[in-house]
Amino acid sequence: MTQTIAEIIPRFAHLSDWDDATLMDVIRHARRLKKMQFRKPVASGKMLGLIFFNPSLRTRISFETAAVHLGAGTSIIQPGQGVWSFETQTGVIMDGDCAEHLKEAVQVISRYVDVIGVRAFSAMQSLKEDLEDRLLQDIVRYATVPVINMESAREHPCQALADGLTMLEHLEEKTKNRKFVLSWAPHPKPLPMAVPNSALEIAARLGMNVTLACPPKMTLPDAMLENVRSHASKNGSQLSIEHDQKEAFRDADIIYGKSWAAPLAYNDPDAESKLRTETCSNWTITRDLMSITKNAAFMHCLPVRRNVVVSDDVLDGSDAIHVDQAENRLHVQKAVLMKLMGLSS
C-alpha cells in the first residue's frame, strides 16, 4: 500500500485526524501558550491562506491574531467577494457563473501559502454529502500544504479544541465522568450540525458523560451519535439522549447551548422551520433552567442570539464562560499552527 501526498501532509481537517493523546497534547500546549501570553516570531516569513465560503468573526480574527503573535502573515480569501466564485463539481462544462475551479484555486494557493484554513458550511442540500464532508475532503485532496478545518459541513474541530481547553480550565482538569449537556435551543434560521457534533465528540473524548438534550425530532443523525458513543465507551463514559430539557439539566456541570436544524430540513425545509420556530420555541435556555444544574457553567460557540437561544441574565451572569471560550480559540489555534508547521515555543 502506498500513501497519497494528501495522506503524508499533516492536517487538522477532522477531529479523527488526531488520537486522544495528540488532542490532549495540543490542548495542554495551548494552555501553556495562554499562560505564557506567547508572542514570538517563530513563524516569521510564513503565510496562512484562509478561505471563507461563509461569514466569520472569531475564527478570522483569532487566526489573524495567532499569525501576528507568531510573526506570520495571512491572506483572507472570500470566494465571490473580490475573488472568483469556485466551481466545486468535477467534470462539468464551466459555462456558468463560476470563473474558476476549486481544483486550480487550491493547487495555486498551496504554492503561495504554508497552511490553508477553510470554512465551508453545509449548504443543507445533501445529508449524505455533509456526513462525508465532501467539499472539505476535496480541498484536502487538492492541497499540497496542511489544511485546517475552520468549520465544515460536519465538524468544527478548532472550536472543539477551544471547548476542550475551556472545560479543562473550568473543571480544573477533572473532566472524567462530569456531566456535559448539549442543549438544543430555538433559532430563526436552520443552522448546520458541525458545532454540536464536534462539541459532543470532544466532551466524550475528555471522558465526560454526555447528554444530548433536544426535542425528539431534533436528534442528530445516527452516524454522528455512533461516533460519540464509541468515543465515550473508549473513555469509560456514556452518551444519553434526553427530550425533557429540565431533566437533562439536573446535576449538569456544563451546559453547552446551541441551535441546529432538524435533519428534516434536508427534505422539507418549511416543515422544519415550523417545528424549530414554533413547536420547540420554549427551549430557550433561562436562569430558571440553569438553577436546576450543579452550578453548571454556560458555554456557547457564538454568535448567539440573546433572548432566543439564551436569556440575557444567563449570558450576563457569572456562570457564563462563553467569552473565555471564544478567547481560547486564539490559544488552541496557535498550538495547531505550531504543530502543523513543526514549530516549538
Applying CB under 8 A, the residues found at the interface with its own copies are 39-41, 44-47, 49, 52, 55-58, 60-62, 64-65, 67-69, 71-73, 75-78, 81-84, 87, 90-96, 99-101, 104-105, 107-109, 111-113, 188, 302-308, 312, 315, 322-323, 326-327, 330
Between 117 and 207, name the residue whose CB sits nearer to its own copies. Answer: 117
Kindly state the helix (H) or strand (E) to which residue 58 belongs, with its residue range: helix 58-70
Q: Which is nearer to its own copies, 247 or 313 (CB)?
A: 313
Minimum Å gap between C-beta 38 and its own copies is 9
Number of Cβ within 10 Å of residue 44's Cβ equals 10
Q: Is 241 helix (H, G, I), strand (E, B) or coil?
A: strand
Pick the closest to residue 164 from 256, 93, 76, 40 (CA basis). Answer: 256
Please, which residue, 233 or 281, has the CB nearer to its own copies? Answer: 281
Which amino acid, 237? S
CB of 317 to its own copies, least distance (A): 13
| Beta-carbon contacts of residue 285 (< 8 Å; ≥ 6 apart) | 183, 185, 255, 257, 298, 309, 310, 311, 314
By beta-carbon proximity to its own copies, the closer residue of 61 and 271 is 61
* Of residues 79 and 164, the one with the C-beta less far from its own copies: 79
Q: State the chain's maximal CA–CA distance in angstroms.
A: 59
Minimal distance in Å, beta carbon 247 to its own copies? 26
Per the CB < 8 A criterion, the answer to whether 240 and 210 are in contact is yes
Minimum distance, C-beta of residue 67 to its own copies, in the bound complex (Å): 7
Judged by beta carbon, residue 18 or residue 38, the one nearer its own copies is: 38
Please give the helix or strand (H or E) that residue 116 lies within, else none.
strand 115-119
User: What is the closest distance, in whole angstroms, from the C-beta atom of residue 321 to its own copies in the complex?
Assistant: 12
CB of 283 to its own copies, least distance (A): 14
Q: CA-to-CA distance for 221 and 197, rounded, in angstroms? A: 9
The edge-to-edge listing of strands for the beta sheet with 147-149 is: 73-77, 47-52, 115-119, 147-149
The C-alpha cell 420554549 sits at 282
